[in-house]
Structure 1
Amino acid sequence: MTRYGYARVSTKDQRLDRQIEALVNAGVAYGHIYKDKVTGAQDGDRTQQKRLFKKMRAGDEVVVESWERLTRSTRQLLNYDLMFRNLGVKLTSLKQPVDLDTAFGRFVLGTHACTAELERDLIRQRQAEGIAVKRSHGGNVGGRPRTAGVKADAAVRLYLGGETPIPDICAATGVSKSTLYRILRERGLVGVRK
């Protein structure tokens, strides 16, 4: 019987340290922890997860910090639970300590997975609604926000005055050099100043 751990984060910038520490503290040997950096909401290349699944044998245990680390899809989580049970492999979540060998434990697993998926869907829906509202009011969606009109106008006035060096214009108005040149291009003023 081998105790394996699985840890996953959603982006390359996130760190696995906290999950790994929790797994080691739960008695999983560091060398038996499989780690992926891939989004859970989409099917990605979970190379380490696939390796873990090939390694599992009857009597083994797979420990995760939470079920969401294994997958964030309700259907996939329930499929994994069925696969583990058919293989005789125990699945343990440190944050959701229920016995999946019981009907109640499997009920809790399904309920939790559905609730987590609903929460993610509601967040995406609210984000889409917010973007739609912003677009309908002519707002900038995504990317770097545009420099405020007052600052842009002040920078252009200083530029057209011809007396202030570009670095001083940028320092005085808080408009970056690249932004100033973009504003000048948009207003057809590039090259006006000698």
Structure 2
Amino acid sequence: MGKLIGYARVSTRAQDADRQTADLLAAGVRRDDLYTDHGVSGARAARPAFGAALDALHEGDTLVVTTLDRLGRSTANMLELATLLRERKTGMRVLNLGGGDVDTGTPMGSMVFTVMAALAQMEVEIKRERITDSVFKRRAAGRDLGGRRERFTDSQINNARRLIDTGQPATQVARDLGMSRATLYRRMGELDARQWITSQTH
């Protein structure tokens, strides 16, 4: 019987992989066979621990992950992985699918893995679409003030002030402009000073 090779990943160093590690150990992975990438995005090709986990796989072994998105962000990446696993005659187990093994060495297992990969990518695309939709709605409501720019017009700063006066959080208004809250208040102060000088010279 082959070994279970566990892989865990967290995207930022501020996160910890304790939950993934606990789940993998509970699934039967030995601590010595557990590989973890810290502060590594799934979109990055270079994942040292992931490479080490793949190197540790031998015929009959099984790669175990807690969720499919620990493996990558695109269908293409995951299908490449499926091909690699099939060539090495190794299996895969995703714990969030009820602990069922996905045998990438069989046509049915390959199809299941393909569907899983497509669904994982679809989830990423849905999240991206939600973010885009949120930005669009903020812009349509006059709350997105044009994004990051090197220079901002007086109109934009005045618009930001109006949003704050109507109860919008200053931090969010500043973020929409692409600046810090402190910078926004400084720009507002500079605008007030310019307008006061203008009023005194007319």
TM-score (normalised: structure 2) = 0.68
Q: How does 1:24-173 map to 2 (within 5 A)?
A: 24-36=25-37, 37-40=39-42, 42-96=43-97, 97-100=100-103, 101-140=105-144, 148-149=164-165
| Matched residue, 1:184 | 189
When residues 25 and 184 of structure 1 are mapped into structure 2, their CA distance, relative to the original with a 3 A threshold, is same
* Deviation, structure 1 residue 120: 1.7
Identity %: 27
Q: Deviations over 1:42-99 (max 9, x none)?
A: 2243111112222322232211112221123212212211211211222221122144
What residue ranges of structure 2 are gaps of 5+ in the alignment? 149-159, 168-180, 198-202
Kept after mapping to 2: 8 A contact 1:67/1:77: no
* Deviation, structure 1 residue 111: 1.4
Distance 1:6 1:39 in 2: 14
Distance 1:62 1:107 in 2: 18
Q: Deviations over 1:92-112 (max 9, x none)?
A: 211221442443332222112
SS of 1:187's partner is helix
What residue ranges of structure 1 are gaps of 5+ in the alignment? 152-175
TM-score (normalised: structure 1) = 0.70
* Deviation, structure 1 residue 21: 0.2
| Matched residue, 2:174 | none
Query: Comparing 31-40 with 127-136, which one deviates more in the overlay?
Result: 127-136
When residues 53 and 14 of structure 1 are mapped into structure 2, their CA distance, relative to the original with a 3 A threshold, is same
Kept after mapping to 1: 8 A contact 2:91/2:101: no
Query: Comparing 106-115 with 94-103, which one deviates more in the overlay?
Result: 94-103
Kept after mapping to 2: 8 A contact 1:38/1:44: no
Kept after mapping to 1: 8 A contact 2:5/2:56: no
Amino acid at match of 2:142: G
Distance 1:93 1:86 in 2: 19
Distance 1:12 1:109 in 2: 29
Query: Comparing 179-188 with 46-55, which one deviates more in the overlay?
Result: 179-188
Kept after mapping to 1: 8 A contact 2:91/2:102: no
* Deviation, structure 1 residue 7: 0.4
Amino acid at match of 1:38: V
* Deviation, structure 1 residue 10: 2.4
